[in-house]
Amino acid sequence: MSHWDVIVLGAGASGLMCSATAAYQGKSVLVIDHAPKAAAKIRISGGGKCNFTNLDVSPANFICQNVHFVKSALSRYPSSAFIELVERHGLAYETRELGKLFCAERASDLIQILRTECDWAGVEFRLNTEIESVAFENGGYRLKTSQGFVTATKLVVATGALSFPKLKASGIGYRIAKQFGLNVLNTSPGLVPLSFEGKWQARFSELSGLSMDVKVTANGHAFQEAILFTHKGLSGPGILQASNYWQLGEAIEVNLLPTESVLDVLKKLKQSGQSLPKWLNQFWPKRFTQVWLEAFPMETTLSNVTDETIENYAYQLTHWKLYPSNTAGYSKAEVTLGGVDTDEVSSKTFETSKQPGLYFIGEVLDVTGHLGGFNFQWAWASGVACGLSV
Question: Smallest distance, Å, CB 273 to ligand FAD?
Answer: 48
Out of 237, 324, 362, 387, the only residue in the binding site for ligand FAD (CB under 6 A) is 362
- Number of residues in contact with ligand FAD, rule: CB under 6 A? 37
27, 123, 160, 243: which one contacts ligand FAD (CB under 6 A)? Answer: 160
Does 238 participate in binding ligand FAD (rule CB under 6 A)? no
Q: Which residue among 34, 232, 270, 370 contacts ligand FAD (CB under 6 A)?
A: 34
Near ligand FAD by CB under 6 A: residue from 4, 6, 7, 14: 14
- Work out whether 22 is an interface residue with ligand FAD (CB under 6 A): no
Torsion of CA 50, 156, 378, 346, to 10 degrees: 180
Q: Which is nearer to ligand FAD, 179 or 301 (CB)?
A: 179
Contact call for residue 163 and ligand FAD (CB under 6 A) = yes
List Cβ neighbours of 41 (8 Å cut-off, separation of 6 or more). Answer: 12, 13, 160, 164, 167
Q: Which stretch binds ligand FAD (CB under 6 A): 27-35, 211-219, 286-294, 297-305?
A: 27-35
Phi/psi of residue 282, each to 5°? Answer: -70, -25
Q: Which of residues 169-208 bind ligand FAD (CB under 6 A)?
A: 169-170, 172
Cβ proximity to ligand FAD, 63 vs 257, nearer residue: 63
Q: Distances from the Cα of 216 to the Cαs of 242, 251, 318, in angstroms?
A: 7, 11, 10
Number of residue whose CB is nearest ligand FAD: 12
Single-letter residue type at 200: W
Compute the Cα dihedral for 293, 298, 299, 302 and give only its sign: negative
The closest of 189, 137, 128 to 164, measured between CA atoms, is 189
Whole-number Cα distances in Å, 291 to 228, 277, 285, 295, 308: 15, 11, 10, 6, 24
Sign of CA dihedral 352, 358, 364, 367: positive
**Cβ-based nearer residue to ligand FAD, 170 or 201:** 170
Footprint on this chain of ligand FAD (rule: CB under 6 A): 9-15, 33-35, 40-41, 44-46, 50-51, 131, 158-160, 163-164, 168-170, 172, 334-335, 362-364, 373-376, 379
